[in-house]
Structure 1
């Protein structure tokens, strides 16, 4: 498994290390291309490292920000990843920073896939940098164990009814994630580090993170803390 693991003593130093790496990766893309695309996740950990990234001096008007996945809720709902990203990243960036959300006016994500595919197809592709978290069960974005990885690549995104969750979701497809030029995984907490240790030595093909690692040609860079 092509993994490079960078270990930090705490979330503050991880956030700075991540921001430096991400800014360099995005700038390297912009040195070669007119536009770049940044994919960011929801969850609690990005509240720490996204503001650090926002402080980096980049031509943000040339970087389109989008999400790895989204809950099918109103974008002003506290559960909305779009709301989180606007609060912790976009509000610190220039107003002309392009953003593409994953929520539409459709009643459910299953009806929205074609429209979202077209929306995502307008992005500068492949994605320059994808940032992901890792669930305790090994899920990434909203791709969960139990899903069929072979059925996930017809569109740039998939609709998901998670096994245990209050809302439907939409997720970037496995193929779109895997085709990213750079992939970063941010891991905090002892349980997730142990899971990563186990998957590194014993790749479990039922785990979405393993699907990604086997499909991508990119090295996956892991930013992790060694805090309990």
Structure 2
């Protein structure tokens, strides 16, 4: 299910997301003593990360992990882990525990068992999950027609992380091998935020929900309660 929250500008959207994410993390810490926050890469969430890094949370009780990762080393310019650490592992948030997905394995398929073991140490369910969306209707690393997509979206599977290989496109770039949270791991979170900006992506999402329901973002919305935070 999708709930829309539309804002006049991106600063308002970031303020609302900062407040809602902080409350979700605080609520989990009060209940369980710790909280895990799953985040996505890309340029859109950077202002949120910068804002969150200054929030006075008990960050030592927060685990920050990735929603998905390109299967590249952390010194690669398109590494989500490198982006996450550079944008968020600063200020007050530097006290958090940061967990990446990339391992020494040659591909994500070989790494799936080890990455699942690593993620099993995180507080579950995730207190908050931050998603993005591409112009092709993908979210997390759920790309249209990707190898592994059906398993990733299968709510009967209890794996936290799944390997996928996308079909190469302008959106994927050369990095088609991916690791991603599974749909079941995402759907278990009480706060799932889909952060998008611009009219193009709004149109893509609206069309996916109304007509192109085969697109991954629409399929995830069938099994997860997602709040869309949108600004022009």
Gaps of at least 5 residues in structure 1 are none
1:224 matched to which residue of 2?
A: 230
Gaps of at least 5 residues in structure 2 are none
Alignment of 1:3-152 (within 5 A): 3-147=2-146, 149-152=149-152
Matched, 1:157 2:165: no
CA distance, structure 1, for counterparts of residue 40 and residue 50 of structure 2:
14
CA distance, structure 2, for counterparts of residue 191 and residue 39 of structure 1:
25
Equivalent residues of 1:113, 1:155 under 8 A apart: no
Q: CA deviation at 1:13?
A: 2.0
CA distance, structure 1, for counterparts of residue 150 and residue 82 of structure 2:
31
Moved more, 61-70 or 192-201: 192-201
Total equivalences in the alignment: 222
Q: CA deviation at 1:96?
A: 3.2
TM-score (structure 1 length as normaliser): 0.91
CA distance, structure 2, for counterparts of residue 95 and residue 88 of structure 1:
10
Equivalent residues of 1:149, 1:174 under 8 A apart: no
Equivalent residues of 1:149, 1:211 under 8 A apart: no
SS of equivalent to 2:90: helix
CA distance, structure 2, for counterparts of residue 76 and residue 134 of structure 1:
24
Q: CA deviation at 1:149?
A: 4.8
What per-residue deviation string (whole Å, max 9, x for no partner) do you get for residues 13-64 of structure 1?
2111211111111112222111111000011111121111222111111110
* Runs of 4 or more consecutive aligned structure 1 residues displaced over 6 Å after TM superposition: none
2:183 aligned residue (168, 174, 198)? 174
Matched, 1:196 2:205: yes
